[in-house]
Chain A
Amino acid sequence: MDYHARLLKRGCIVLFPKRFEVIVIGGGHAGTEAALASARMGRTTLLLTHSIETLGQMSCNPSIGGIGKGHLVKEIDALGGAMAIATDEAGIQFRILNGSKGPAVRATRAQADRVLYRRAIRHRLENQPNLFLFQQAADDLLVEGDRVAGVVTQSGIRFEAEAIVLTAGTFLSGVIHVGLSNHAAGRAGDPPSVALSHRLRELNLPVGRLKTGTPPRIDGRSIDFSTMTEQPGDEPAPVFSFMGRREMHPAQLPCWITHTNERTHDIIRGGLDRSPMFTGVIEGIGPRYCPSIEDKIHRFADKTSHQIFLEPEGLTTHEFYPNGISTSLPFDVQLALVQSIRGLEHAHLTRPGYAIEYDYFDPRALRTSLETRAFRGLFFAGQINGTTGYEEAGAQGLLAGINAARLVRGEAACVPGRDEAYLGVLVDDLVTRGVTEPYRMFTSRAEHRLSLREDNADLRLTETGRALGLVDDTRWARFEAKQEAIARERERLRSTWCNPRVLDVSRTVALFGAPVEKDGTLEEFLRRPEVSYRTLMEWAAPGSGLDDEEAADQVEVQIKYQGYIERQLTEIARQEQHADLVLPEELDYRSVRGLSAEVCQKLSAQRPETLAQAGRISGVTPAALSLLRVHVKRLGAGRVTAATEPSREAADGDAAQAAG
C-alpha cells in the first residue's frame, strides 16, 4: 500500500469536489503559461500554487529577453502566451541587442518592474475563462499504474485530473548557501518542496542536482551614479508583443555600468576559503555562462576588471540588481567586495547574494511533448527539466500546457521542429542531449538560425497557434492584415520596373556611390547591400512605401536573406528525409549490424524518436546513422512528419511490449 492510500485510509484526505481536465502545479513562468494555454484551449484547468501573491514572480534578475531568449518570448507571444505582453506592461527599459549584426541575431531585451510584472500576469490568470486558482503546496502525486491520476496537497486535499503539468522550479529539495552556512529553501523567502521531491524520487525518475546563484541587492539611495556610465533604453522603445504598443510602457529608467577592480578581486580571493563552491560544499553544477564573480576571477585570473550592470528593480522601489556579481561568498566578503567598486563605496545591501542547489529531472526521460515516458499524463516543464531563465521556462510551460490539453482529448502531441522555432530547438536539445549544466538558449544552438528570427516569430507560429485554439480573433485579424500587406508589397516590388536614368543623378550617386545605368525591378535594387527599404522608396518611388514598420522590415529582410533562406530550406528538406524516419520504440539496437557497442548502448538508453534525433546524440557518428537507416528501412518502418509524435496507440503497444 502506498503512502497516499495509507493516508486515505486514516481519513486524512478529502477529495476536492470539482474535477479538472488539467492541473498545473507551480505559479512561476512555466506554470502560468501552461495554465493559460490549457485554459485558452478550453480545458477546465487548475493552477495549484503555494502562494497566489507570488504568481509571476521574477526570482532572479528583473529582465526579460536577450539573445536567443527574446526569440523565445516572441514565439510564446505568437502562440498566445502572456510573457511578451506582460513585459510591455511592466518594462522600464527596452533595448535591441545586436542591432548591427543582422536580423537573425537581433534580440529585444527589457528591464521589468517586478511588481508591475506580477500584476500583469496575475491579472491575466484571474481573468482567464476555464482557469481556476488554488493556493496550497502540492505534496504528493497520485499515480495509477503507468498513468498520473491527481495530486494531494499539504493539508490533504485531493485533486483529480488526467493530465498534470509539474513546474516546480528550484523548489525541489532546494538548499540556499551563503558562505558556509546553508538552509533549505525554494528561493529566498519561500519554503522548498521537500515532500514532493521525496515522492518524485520514489517514482524512480532520473534525478540530478544543479546550482544557480544570484547577487546581493543594493539600496539605490546609497549608490553614487555620477561615477558610472549611464545606459539608457533605445529611442523609440521597441515593443515585445505583436499586440503590444509603446503607449503601454510605464515610465522608463536607465541602467548603469561600473567595473570591478584589482582590490575587488583581492577581497574575493581572500574569501575563497569560506566559499561553499571552492570548499566543495556545493555539489550541483552551475551554468558556465552565468558564473559567480568568484568563479570568473578564479578561471580568468589575468582579467583585471569585470563589467557590472546596475539594473533598477522597479519604479516603486530603490533596490538595484547588480548584474555580474552573483556570489555565494560569506556576507562580510560580499559587503566588502561591493564597497570596493567605484560608485558603490557606501552601498547598503538590502539582501545577500546566494547560491541555490536544487533537484532536476533528466529531461532525456521525457518525450518531445514534455510528457514523461514513464507516466502517461505527467508533464514536466521549466527549471525542473534542468533549464534556467524565465523565457526557457515559459516556452516549456506553454508547450506542456498545449500537449496536456491535447492529451486529455485524445489528440496527438504537437511540437514545433528545430527548423520552425527556438521552442523546437529547446525541447529537442533537452530530450535528446539532456543537460550537463543549467540549459540556457543561445542563437548558436539553432542550426536554422537565419530562418528563426524575432521579426518573423509571428509569421512562423501564429497559424499554428490559431489552429490550436490559442490565438484570439483580434490577433488573428491583425496578423492576416500584416501578412497580406507583406505579400502585396513583395508583389509590387517584384513587378515594378525602375529606370535609374530618369531619376535624380545626385541622389543615385549618394545611394550607390556611382551613377547607375542599368534598369531593374525594385526588388533587384533592394537586394543590393547598400540599399534599404526606406532609402529605396525615397530614391525610386517617393510616397509609395508601406506605413507599417514591421511589415516593411519583413519585406526587406525576406528579400535580402532570400538566397540564404532558400539554402536553409534545401538543407531542411534534405534533412527531413531522415528526420521523418521514425525509429520504432521497441527497436533492438543490438540487432543493428555493425553498430559499435558504445553507440548501441547510448541509443538503447535514450531511445530517440526519429533518426534525426539519433544523429544529435553525442557520439552517434554519421556511419552509425547510415547503418541505422538501412536497418530501419529493412524493417519497413513507416513515416510520420517530424512535428508529431508516433501515435498514442503505437506508444501503448510499445509500452505493453516493453513490459512483457
Chain B
Amino acid sequence: MRPRSADTIAAIATAPGRGGVGVVRVSGDLAESICLGVAGAVPSPRRASFRSFGDAEGRTIDAGLVLFFPPPGSYTGEPVVEFQGHGSPQALAALLDRCIELGARIARPGEFTERAFLNDRLDLAQAEAVADLIDAESRTAARAAIRSLSGEFSNAIRDLVAELESLRIMVEAAIDFPEEDIDVMADYQIGARVQDLMERLDGIFTRARLGQRLREGATVVLLGEPNVGKSSLLNRLAGEDLAIVTDVPGTTRDPIRGHITLDGVPFHLVDTAGLRDSADPVEREGIARSRAQASKADLAVLVLDARENADAGFARLAANASLPERCIAVRNKIDLIGESASSVERAGVTTVSVSAQTGEGLSLLREALLKAVDWEAGGGEGAFTARSRHLEALRRCREHLQSALSLIDVQTDLVAEELRYAMDAAGEITGRKTADDLLGAIFASFCIGK
C-alpha cells in the first residue's frame, strides 16, 4: 500500500540548544527532491553518505551525513530524508529554512509519529510508546517503553484479542447454527477457555501496571499529627535520593510535593498539614485538604511518634481521614528511645521504625514503599510502558469476561454480547480495527449447513 501524503513535513529532530550533532528530518513525497536540493544527490537507501549542505545560492550551510529511507519501510511509511549536521542552532535553523524553501512545511509536534500511525507503521500503543520513550525519566522506564514500541505489549494484546475472537466464533456458531449435531458450548469448553483467558489477562495487567507505575509513578501522601516529623521524613527521603527534587512551595498550609525515583519508579510525595482538631479556620482548611489528598493517593504513609503506642496512633489516624487501600505505618524518632530500625509486616500493614533525624531505617522505608506499589526488585524488566487508559481498558475487558463466565450456562446471547464488549475493550489499546468477518471464520472452522 503506497500512502499518498498531501504535503511534505520537516523539523529539527534533536533537542533544542547546542549539541554535538543536530538532525533535520524530512518526510513526504518531496523528500527526495529536497535531498537533491540540499545535498546535491540522493544517497542509496539506508546508507550514510557525507555531503555538504548548500543554500539556494550554493553557499555551504553545514556538512554532515545524509540518509535516505524509501517507503514503505521508513519510519513514517513515506519517503524520509535525514540530514545529520553539527549541533549548531544557527546551522540547523538555516538547514530547516532551506527545506521549507524547497517545498516542505514545518511539522507539528508529533506529526512524524502521527503519519507512522496513519500509514499503519505503528499501532496506537506503539505510537504512545514513542512519546513515553522520549519522556522516560529513568533507564527502567525507557526499557519498558522500548518493549512496548517494539510491539511486545501490542503482541500480547493481539494474542488476547485473537483468543477472544476464536471464543466469539464458537459462541456465534452455537447461536446461528443450533441444528448442527455439535454442542459447541460444551464440546469446546467455552467456560474453561474464558477462565484461562482471564488468567492471561491478569498477567498482562500486572506487567502493564508496573509500566504505568514507571511512567506515571505513585502518589504517596504523608499523614500524621503535627510534629511527628512528616516534613523531615520527606526531606530525608528526597535528600538522600540523588534524583531530581523539585519542591513546589505553595502557601505554608498547602500540601508540599517532592519527587523521588526509587529503582526507576517515580514517587510523588505529598506532605500534609497535621491532622488534629483545630479552631483555626485556615488550619481547618489545610486539614480538609490533607484528607482530600489522602483519599486520592495510591498509598498513605502514616507517620507516628515512636514514643507512643503504634496501634492507638494508627487507629486515630485511620478514623480521621479516608485512607487509600494501601498504607504503611512509620514509627519515627526511634533515636529518641534508642531503638534500632526495623520493618514488620502485620495484618497486611507494614510498620517501619526509622529516624528521620539520623537517617536510620530509611532504606527499609524505601523497600516498603516499592513493595507497597507491587514493585519487586528489578521488576521493571517485565514491564510494559502503559497508560491509565490501557489499564482501564484491560480492567473493563476483565469485567466483561467475568460476566460472560457467569452467564455461560444461563443465556448464550448475553455471553456473546459480553465477549464482544471484552474484545472491543482490548482492541481499544492498539487502536487497530479487529476482524469483522466472524461468519467467514465460522464457515472455515465448522462443517455447517443443511
A interface list, Cβ under 8 A from B: 61, 67-68, 97-98, 100-105, 287-291, 296, 299-300, 303, 306-309, 323-324, 442-445, 449-450, 529, 564, 590, 593-598, 600, 618, 621-623, 627
A596→B175 CA distance, assembly (Å): 37
B interface list, Cβ under 8 A from A: 1-6, 115, 117-120, 172, 174-181, 410-414, 416-417, 431-433, 436, 438-440, 442-443, 447-450
The answer on a CB contact under 8 Å between A596 and B3 is yes
CB distance from B444 to the nearest CB of A (A): 8
CB distance from A88 to the nearest CB of B (A): 22
B7: nearest chain-A partner, CB-CB: A593
From known contacts A290-B450, A303-B447, A307-B181, infer whether A621 and B176 are also in contact, taking CB-CB under 8 Å.
no
Q: Which 10 A-B pairs have the closest CB atoms?
A: A102-B413, A101-B412, A300-B447, A288-B443, A102-B411, A104-B413, A444-B172, A323-B450, A593-B6, A442-B176
From known contacts A101-B412, A104-B413, A299-B447, infer whether A596 and B4 are also in contact, taking CB-CB under 8 Å.
yes
A231: nearest chain-B partner, CB-CB: B179
Q: Which B residues touch A291, using CB under 8 A? A: 447-449
Q: Which A residues touch B412, using CB under 8 A? A: 98, 100-102, 105
The answer on a CB contact under 8 Å between A600 and B450 is no
A100→B449 CA distance, assembly (Å): 21
The answer on a CB contact under 8 Å between A444 and B413 is no
Q: Which A residues touch B178, using CB under 8 A? A: 67, 97-98, 101
Contact sample, A vs B, 13 pairs, CB 8 Å cutoff: A61-B450, A102-B411, A102-B414, A290-B449, A296-B447, A306-B447, A307-B181, A323-B450, A444-B175, A564-B417, A594-B118, A596-B3, A618-B436
A102: nearest chain-B partner, CB-CB: B413
Q: Which B residues touch A98, using CB under 8 A? A: 175, 178, 412
A289→B446 CA distance, assembly (Å): 10
The interface residues of chain A, by DSSP majority, are classed as loop
From known contacts A444-B172, A623-B118, infer whether A597 and B3 are also in contact, taking CB-CB under 8 Å.
yes
Q: Which A residues touch B115, using CB under 8 A? A: 594
A306→B181 CA distance, assembly (Å): 8
Q: Which B residues touch A597, using CB under 8 A? A: 1-4
The answer on a CB contact under 8 Å between B2 and A296 is no
The answer on a CB contact under 8 Å between A101 and B174 is yes
A91→B172 CA distance, assembly (Å): 28
The answer on a CB contact under 8 Å between A627 and B438 is no
A32→B120 CA distance, assembly (Å): 49
A600→B248 CA distance, assembly (Å): 52
CB distance from B52 to the nearest CB of A (A): 34
The answer on a CB contact under 8 Å between A627 and B450 is no
A296→B181 CA distance, assembly (Å): 14
CB distance from B442 to the nearest CB of A (A): 8
Q: Other than A103-B413, A289-B449, A597-B4, give 8 A-B pairs with Cβ distance below 8 A.
A: A100-B412, A102-B411, A300-B447, A307-B450, A444-B176, A444-B438, A449-B416, A594-B5
Q: Which B residues touch A618, using CB under 8 A? A: 436
Taking a contact as CB atoms closer than 8 A, the residue among A296, A442, A622 that contacts B431 in the complex is A622
CB distance from A565 to the nearest CB of B (A): 11
A627→B115 CA distance, assembly (Å): 12
A292: nearest chain-B partner, CB-CB: B449
The answer on a CB contact under 8 Å between A309 and B450 is yes
Q: Which A residues touch B119, using CB under 8 A? A: 596
A100→B431 CA distance, assembly (Å): 36
The answer on a CB contact under 8 Å between B447 and A289 is no
| Most central of B117, B414, B443, B449 by chain A CB within 10 Å | B449
A600→B447 CA distance, assembly (Å): 37
From known contacts A103-B413, A299-B447, A529-B410, infer whether A595 and B439 are also in contact, taking CB-CB under 8 Å.
no
The interface residues of chain B, by DSSP majority, are classed as loop
The answer on a CB contact under 8 Å between A324 and B450 is yes
A105→B119 CA distance, assembly (Å): 39
The answer on a CB contact under 8 Å between B413 and A442 is no
A111→B417 CA distance, assembly (Å): 31
From known contacts A450-B413, A596-B3, A597-B1, infer whether A68 and B176 are also in contact, taking CB-CB under 8 Å.
yes
Q: Which A residues touch B180, using CB under 8 A? A: 307
The answer on a CB contact under 8 Å between B414 and A623 is no
CB distance from A109 to the nearest CB of B (A): 9
Q: Which B residues touch A529, using CB under 8 A? A: 410
From known contacts A101-B413, A443-B175, infer whether A288 and B449 are also in contact, taking CB-CB under 8 Å.
yes
CB distance from A587 to the nearest CB of B (A): 16
CB distance from A561 to the nearest CB of B (A): 8
B117: nearest chain-A partner, CB-CB: A623
Q: Which B residues touch A442, using CB under 8 A? A: 172, 176, 439
Q: Which A residues touch B447, using CB under 8 A? A: 291, 296, 299-300, 303, 306
A582→B431 CA distance, assembly (Å): 24
CB distance from B132 to the nearest CB of A (A): 20
B172: nearest chain-A partner, CB-CB: A444
A445→B180 CA distance, assembly (Å): 19
From known contacts A68-B176, A289-B448, A449-B417, infer whether A622 and B433 are also in contact, taking CB-CB under 8 Å.
yes
The answer on a CB contact under 8 Å between B1 and A627 is no
A450: nearest chain-B partner, CB-CB: B417
A431→B5 CA distance, assembly (Å): 30
The answer on a CB contact under 8 Å between A600 and B4 is yes
| Most central of A290, A444, A598 by chain B CB within 10 Å | A444
| Most central of B172, B175, B439, B442 by chain A CB within 10 Å | B175
B175: nearest chain-A partner, CB-CB: A105
Q: Which B residues touch A103, using CB under 8 A? A: 413
Q: Which B residues touch A306, using CB under 8 A? A: 447
| Most central of B177, B181, B411 by chain A CB within 10 Å | B411
B414: nearest chain-A partner, CB-CB: A102
A97→B177 CA distance, assembly (Å): 10
From known contacts A290-B449, A303-B447, infer whether A598 and B1 are also in contact, taking CB-CB under 8 Å.
yes
CB distance from A299 to the nearest CB of B (A): 7
A594→B27 CA distance, assembly (Å): 13
A291: nearest chain-B partner, CB-CB: B449
CB distance from A302 to the nearest CB of B (A): 10
A450→B416 CA distance, assembly (Å): 10
The answer on a CB contact under 8 Å between B449 and A595 is no
A444→B119 CA distance, assembly (Å): 31
Q: Which A residues touch B448, using CB under 8 A? A: 288-289, 291
A104→B176 CA distance, assembly (Å): 11
Q: Which B residues touch A590, using CB under 8 A? A: 4
A615: nearest chain-B partner, CB-CB: B433
CB distance from B230 to the nearest CB of A (A): 45
A95→B431 CA distance, assembly (Å): 43
| Most central of B115, B120, B181, B450 by chain A CB within 10 Å | B450
Q: Which A residues touch B433, using CB under 8 A? A: 621-622
A529: nearest chain-B partner, CB-CB: B410
CB distance from B3 to the nearest CB of A (A): 5
CB distance from B106 to the nearest CB of A (A): 16
A590→B179 CA distance, assembly (Å): 48
A299: nearest chain-B partner, CB-CB: B447
Q: Which A residues touch B413, using CB under 8 A? A: 101-105, 449-450
Taking a contact as CB atoms closer than 8 A, the residue among A97, A593, A595 that contacts B179 in the complex is A97
Taking a contact as CB atoms closer than 8 A, the residue among B118, B175, B176, B179 that contacts A627 in the complex is B118
A184→B438 CA distance, assembly (Å): 36
Q: Which A residues touch B411, using CB under 8 A? A: 101-102
A445→B411 CA distance, assembly (Å): 19
CB distance from B145 to the nearest CB of A (A): 22
The answer on a CB contact under 8 Å between B4 and A595 is yes
A296→B443 CA distance, assembly (Å): 11
A530: nearest chain-B partner, CB-CB: B410
A67: nearest chain-B partner, CB-CB: B176
Q: Which B residues touch A97, using CB under 8 A? A: 178-179
Q: Which B residues touch A300, using CB under 8 A? A: 447
| Most central of B177, B178, B436, B438 by chain A CB within 10 Å | B178
Q: Which B residues touch A593, using CB under 8 A? A: 6
A598: nearest chain-B partner, CB-CB: B1
Q: Which B residues touch A623, using CB under 8 A? A: 117-118, 431
Q: Which A residues touch B1, using CB under 8 A? A: 596-598
| Most central of B115, B439, B447 by chain A CB within 10 Å | B447
